Amino acid sequence: MTATAAEKTTHARRARTGGPEDGPKILEHILGWTLVVVLAMFVTQAGLM
C-alpha cells in the first residue's frame, strides 16, 4: 500500500458521519464538563477562590 492509498483510506474513515464513533465523543464531553463543575464546586467549598 502506498502512502497516498493509506491517506485516502484514513480520510475515508474519518469522513464517515454517525455510527458508533459519535457516542463516546458525546459521553466524553459530558464527563469532561461534569468534572469541571465538580472541580469548581470543590474549589469553592474549600475556600480557595
pTM metric for this prediction: 0.50
Give the integer Cα–Cα distance in Å for 27 and 20.
12
Q: Which residue has the cell 469553592?
A: 44
pLDDT, one tens digit per residue, over 2-49 is 666 665 655 556 666 665 555 678 888 999 999 999 999 999 999 887
Q: What pLDDT is attached to residue 27?
A: 87
Q: What pLDDT is attached to residue 25?
A: 83
* DSSP class of 9: H
